[in-house]
Structure 1
Amino acid sequence: MPTAYQAQRHAAAHLAQAEQSDLHEVPLRQHRAERVYLQANRRIKLRLRPPLFIIETVMRREQGHSTHIGLEVELGMTNVLDAVGQWTMHSGPLYQRLATAIRTAVVRGDLPPGTILPAERHMARMLAVGRSTVVGAYDLLRSDGVLESKQGSGTWVSGAERNSASKGGQPESLGRAALSENDTLIDLATASLPAVPAVREATAALRGDLFDQLLSQTGYSAVGLAELRRAVATMYSEEGLPTTPEQVLITTGDQQALSLLTQHLVETGDSVVLEDPTSPGMLDLLRHRAVTIRTTRSVASAGERPLLDLVNRASPALVYTITALGPEGLVSERDAILRLAKGLSGFEGAVIEDTSSRQLVWDDPPPYLASVVRDTTVFTVGSMSKLFWGGLRVGWIRGDENAIVRLSRAKARADLGTPVLSQVVSAWLLHRRAEIREGRQVEVRGRIEEATRIIAELLPEFEITPAAGAVALWLRMPRGASRPFAETARRRGVAIVPGDSLSADGASDAYIRVAIGGSPSIFEAGIRRLAAAWSEFDRTPAIALRPADPLV
């Protein structure tokens, strides 16, 4: 289903289309049982299916020759879940814990005065609790003056008039894909591995003349340390993608690489094509921009045809693909990449190929898209996180030299450069990547085999997608939706990633992602808690498993 943000942008785009057309009614988008229409030159309402239960009002007003779009967006369920966070970690009965979390969110400013809260039954469904829990929490907060309610107007935060325009921003996918250091849950959400032993060796090598030479410099470099740029260029060249150091920009992790590229490549009103599921970081970046997000199945799971068909229909400004070891843990076939390259020939937009996990692929990975495509702009993104260690916070962009220069200026405005010590360690590690990769792949294979055995034993109804080197497993739930199940799991003391956090339109809501980076004993304890959560969740169909309410 579309997010509030997507529907808002679709409305704006099609309103512009209506102005250029004699059509009175312009079809906006259809999602499952939902059909939304835009009435040209009229006030309209867009109704989205639960759990978002968002109503948007679009007004067209003319001032001279300009068209202005005013929007009123009611707070979506995902924003509330972000605001209350780990509400079950508070003390007391469930209704009291929820009330404490809402009160804390109000004090923190995450739910400002005037914010409309979800109806009790919607909140109960998504938190996988009984309606009485939400009723009790709301009653307690009303008695304390934190909330106000009025028949027909709902419930909102006290201190201002009911005002949906004061709501927070978009749901944060990235925050649900990794935990903070203060979390006390068993972490099966963060898809990363402990540092390889070579990281310790690399830091120990930072002494003597090399260290003195580094400390004598300013420590700022917008494009990155020359030695690291050469190491990245050498890696790409050895793997079949000829690259010069001038084609490489060092970034502060993969996320900054994606942020710089989206700023550089996407403008207001553009369309962007993503695979589903996809990177939570990329979703967060795009949800905060005035763009239309279009999704299709991944090349790794369905081949190149669905993506090419969507590109031909949507004419996007940007295509983002993870050809090896995306959230599903799959690897694209070589022939599929070759056909994709051929199909993209002459594409006027740009393509980002995210290769951050590529080094963990057990067998030979497919060719880099940039090495086989013609007449198409392709940026290749990578990082040190998956193979070596996420704590280094080092990534890179490989692209056209002129584009790299422009991107380096944007990076300089962002942070003046990636920390030099991390870059030096990264260069040292990349020179030894063949040996390190071999050991890491053996480690990951063992982790996947053990994790698969444990899941098959404790969650026999869950379908495991066979992984080819990933640091997380992609599981299909027997029934139900991933987000309320993830909330139930948190109450049982284990954090997982619901599939809809990795999906722009909810197509992956039947899946969860389980990370395997912890110790075997911790992983098994986490899966045991997950099994207990599933037993609880599966017993409460009236709360968590029933279908969404029909549109009214």
Structure 2
Amino acid sequence: MHIQDALADWSARSGPLYARLSAALTAAIERGDIPPGTVLPPERSLAKRLAIGRSTVMHAYARLREAGVLETRQGSGSWVTGGHRNGNAEAPRDSLPVAALRNPAALVDLATAALPAHRRLRDAVAALGVADPDTAAALDTPGYHPAGLPALRAALADRLTAQGLPTAADQVLVTTGDQQGLSLLAGHALPDREPAIVEAPTSPGILDVLHGLSVPLRGAPPVTAGGDELPALVDRIRPGLVYLVPTLSPLGRVLGAGDRKRLATALAERDTLVVDDVSQAGLVFEQVPPPLAAYAESDNLLTVGSLSKLHWGGLRLGWVRGPAPLVAALARAKARADLGTPVLDQVLATRLLGVEDEVRAERVAELRDRLAHAGATLTALLPEFRWTPPEGGLSLWLQLPAGTATAFSEVATRFGVAVVPGGVLSPRGLSDDHVRIVYARPPEVFDEGVHRLAAAWARYRHSGDDQPVLL
């Protein structure tokens, strides 16, 4: 919800316009609609939203600062005093579908038009072998959990805590896949189409989200490169969102502990929301590293994850970890979209978290074997291609000996094999000398795919130019 809703009919008050705005902001803060630590929109941004002059907002903010209600720091924005800056520039609002988010234990729900699960559904669940007291308790509810099933939120919080990032259940939002989490965060962080920064190459999912919002997009060198370019780029561009994959980006790298701490500390000092995507962390060959937020205490460092990569692509379950006020705001936005992620999926996910260490051990052992097989196949059939063994994950980042990946991938398609050209994983089409291929296929499937890829490369290489070849 936008901050305008907290201000209501502020302009109908008496007095100068800046005084009316200041009074409305003060009232919203006193009501708790704008909690302590909330970052208010920049002067220019709020002026645009309210269709007033920037000077009006400037004078209103100045009055709040004089009253000790607002704190402003150069480069960090203005936020409500009495709490840590939390990056939440939007005020919460309750509506009927999400009324339980405010205080579910104290609420008698006479608003949700839904029934508990029927006996036949309970029988079907029991037949699947997932019937237990936790499942029964979930089936006894109307089934609407906008922020996520409480048991799953608690389990995810425990998992993050064990990984080195102390987390409470109210700091976790369950989403329908990590893609929804990214969409919610981008919509929250970029209300006025502020610029965003992503690594290049990066996840295609975040590019889809940001292109859909039509925001200015800038690529940054991979954080695994060990340089300090990113903080300087943030200072220069002043983005609303920075998206990073320090754990198994397309390059297959895992940022070391020292570099993580240095990066997290630097970004925690910036006034931008930083999203650390750990969706593939469970597939790291060695120990799973803590998220960036574990290395610096700052509410602008957020973590997004998924259960789909480790357990099953069809298990469309993701999560966002951040400060509780921001998670509550995102839950309200999610409720407006879908009222909550399917509950039975969450029941299953809660059980899977209890055996995740076992699942991870089996997955990693299998991936190591398939990587060794893939390496031998690539060496035999595509010896000219260059690649570095990844530190986990499902894919390889192959460098072409010549030409462009975009043209080569089209030829490969005609030979019956699909690969991802590196250019589509960058905001500006960079890395088009690489392709991404999945090695985590059964050996016979991978071998057939590489045979076809080798045939496609022979045809492309001998075509004499960089245009797709019609067969």
The answer to whether TM tops 0.5 is yes
- Aligned pairs for 1:224-373 within 5 A: 224-300=148-224, 302-373=225-296
Distance 1:382 1:375, change over 3 A: closer
Deviation digits for residues 411-447 of structure 1 (CA, Å, limit 9, x no counterpart): 1111111111111111101111112111111111111
Q: 1:212 & 1:431 partners in 2: Cα distance? A: 18
What SS does structure 2 have at the residue aligned with 1:364?
coil
- Aligned pairs for 1:435-514 within 5 A: 435-514=358-437
Q: Which deviates more, 356-365 or 318-327? A: 356-365
1:61 aligned partner: none
Distance 1:203 1:235, change over 3 A: farther
Distance 1:225 1:375, change over 3 A: closer
1:522 lines up with 2:445 in the alignment: yes
Shift of 1:304: 4.4
Deviation digits for residues 318-369 of structure 1 (CA, Å, limit 9, x no counterpart): 1100011111111111111111122223211110000001111122344321
Q: 2:135 & 2:287 partners in 1: Cα distance? A: 37
Instruction: State, as a whole percentage, how many aligned pairs show the same letter.
Output: 42
Shift of 1:531: 0.5
Shift of 1:516: 2.1
1:408 lines up with 2:326 in the alignment: no
What SS does structure 2 have at the residue aligned with 1:237?
helix
Shift of 1:217: 2.7
Distance 1:345 1:418, change over 3 A: closer
Shift of 1:290: 3.2
Q: Which runs of 5+ in 2 are unaligned?
A: 1-51, 54-125
Shift of 1:211: 4.7
Deviation digits for residues 168-204 of structure 1 (CA, Å, limit 9, x no counterpart): xxxxxxxxxxxxxxxxxxxxxxxxxxxxxxxxxx994
Deviation digits for residues 145-186 of structure 1 (CA, Å, limit 9, x no counterpart): xxxxxxxxxxxxxxxxxxxxxxxxxxxxxxxxxxxxxxxxxx
Instruction: Please say if residues 381 and 395 of structure 1, whose CA atoms lie closer than 8 Å, have aligned partners that are also in contact.
Output: yes
1:535 aligned partner: 458
Instruction: Please say if residues 480 and 545 of structure 1, whose CA atoms lie closer than 8 Å, have aligned partners that are also in contact.
Output: no
- Whose strand fraction is larger, Structure 1's or Structure 2's? 1
The number of equivalent residue pairs is: 346
Q: 2:285 & 2:132 partners in 1: Cα distance? A: 38
1:425 lines up with 2:324 in the alignment: no
Instruction: Please say if residues 380 and 397 of structure 1, whose CA atoms lie closer than 8 Å, have aligned partners that are also in contact.
Output: yes
2:28 aligned partner: none
Shift of 1:497: 0.7
Code of the residue aligned with 2:284 in structure 1: it is V
Relative CO higher for 1 or 2, CA cutoff 8 Å, sep ≥ 6?
Answer: 1
1:392 aligned partner: 315
Deviation digits for residues 17-75 of structure 1 (CA, Å, limit 9, x no counterpart): xxxxxxxxxxxxxxxxxxxxxxxxxxxxxxxxxxxxxxxxxxxxxxxx99xxxxxxxxx
Shift of 1:506: 1.6
Distance 1:336 1:211, change over 3 A: closer
What SS does structure 1 have at the residue aligned with 2:396?
strand
1:31 aligned partner: none
What SS does structure 1 have at the residue aligned with 2:333?
helix
Instruction: Please say if residues 135 and 347 of structure 2, whose CA atoms lie closer than 8 Å, have aligned partners that are also in contact.
Output: no
Compute the RMSD of aligned alpha carbons.
Answer: 2.1
273, 280, 301: which one aligns with 1:378: 301
Instruction: Please say if residues 481 and 545 of structure 1, whose CA atoms lie closer than 8 Å, have aligned partners that are also in contact.
Output: no
Instruction: Please say if residues 411 and 468 of structure 2, whose CA atoms lie closer than 8 Å, have aligned partners that are also in contact.
Output: no
What SS does structure 1 have at the residue aligned with 2:308?
coil
Q: 2:328 & 2:428 partners in 1: Cα distance? A: 35
What SS does structure 2 have at the residue aligned with 1:390?
coil
Q: Which deviates more, 502-511 or 228-237? A: 502-511
Instruction: Please say if residues 348 and 376 of structure 1, whose CA atoms lie closer than 8 Å, have aligned partners that are also in contact.
Output: no
Q: Which deviates more, 486-495 or 365-374? A: 365-374
Q: 2:298 & 2:440 partners in 1: Cα distance? A: 40
Q: 2:323 & 2:227 partners in 1: Cα distance? A: 24
Code of the residue aligned with 1:528 in structure 2: it is H
Code of the residue aligned with 2:278 in structure 1: it is T
**TM-score calculated relative to the size of structure 2:** 0.70
Instruction: Please say if residues 197 and 239 of structure 2, whose CA atoms lie closer than 8 Å, have aligned partners that are also in contact.
Output: yes
Instruction: Please say if residues 355 and 382 of structure 1, whose CA atoms lie closer than 8 Å, have aligned partners that are also in contact.
Output: yes
What SS does structure 2 have at the residue aligned with 1:409?
helix
Shift of 1:400: 0.6
Q: Which runs of 5+ in 1 are unaligned?
A: 1-64, 67-201, 547-552
Instruction: Please say if residues 403 and 466 of structure 2, whose CA atoms lie closer than 8 Å, have aligned partners that are also in contact.
Output: no
What SS does structure 2 have at the residue aligned with 1:396?
strand
Q: 1:250 & 1:366 partners in 2: Cα distance? A: 21
